[in-house]
Amino acid sequence: MDKFVSIIISHWGMNGERSEMMKASLRSLFTSTSYPFELTVIDNGGSIEDSKYLLKLCEEGKINTYIRNANNMSFGYARNQGLALAQGDYICIADNDLLYKKDWLGESVRLLEAFLDEKVYTTPIHYPTNIMRERYNVGTLELDGKTYQKNMRAGSNCFVVRRKDFEEIGNFMIHRIAGSRWTDAAVRSGYNALVIPECLVEDLGLRKGYALGEWIPIGLKLSNGKEIFFNQDEGADICNLEKRRQRRFDGTLR
């Protein structure tokens, strides 16, 4: 059987701008991705119109699996939902605000197959700051006359990894910075991101604020009215939920 990638995207319709980014992102994904993939989208709610849009794509066969949560369960929880259903030889984790360019996925997989003995995952997206490039670079790899940087922090919003390697590193924590926690776990397991220098994916929502730094209660309300929470967050005070709910993201954490 031919190899393929399981792409997992989580979405929360926090506002109209984010909704439009999601639609633009998926359009570019469908038109720019030639390597075989299955697509799973986990919808954390926020916009019924977004949910209808995603369900229609699922009915059209463009999304293989669509999951809709009643509440915002956070991107770490949503990613784990998708991972539980992933069937691919490779796993791709991606955010909902990315613009994909031609052959982004094929190039990502090509590098993984070229460096089978290296403990790397690939990312087609550049660093958000020069500091990340300078501080977290840990070496280079060469292929076909081209140099690829290895980095401890790059690519948490879009990366491709061999399935067996992901299973070694493990799933995402239910945490306000689940992506950073996963890259920490990858580094502890000896893995680093291998960065594609052409920047084949653009971050449309860079610094626009996804409120990922905010602590929000992640859990379920059962049929008997009881609430259970899953957060793995240092210092999380479940008894102080209302105060936490009232906090707002304005570009800085208060």
Q: What domains sit in the chain, N to C, each tagged with a CATH number?
A: 5-203 (3.90.550.10)
pLDDT of residue 172: 95
Bridge partner list, 30: none
DSSP 8-53: EEEE---SHHHHHHHHHHHHHHHHH--S-EEEEEEE--S-HHHHHH
pLDDT of residue 214: 60
Mean pLDDT of 148-168: 95
pLDDT of residue 55: 98
Mean pLDDT of 106-125: 97
Average pLDDT for the chain: 88
pLDDT of residue 152: 93
- Picking from 101, 84, 83, the residue whose alpha carbon sits closest to that of residue 92 is 83
pLDDT of residue 128: 61
pLDDT of residue 60: 98
Instruction: Grade residue 248 by pLDDT with cuts at 50, 70 and 90.
Output: very low
The residue type of 106 is: G
Taking a C-beta distance cutoff of 8 angstroms, is the pair 19, 47 a contact?
yes
What tokens does 9 get?
Answer: 């995207």
pLDDT digits (tens, 9 = 90+) for 3-30: 999 999 999 999 999 999 999 999 999 9
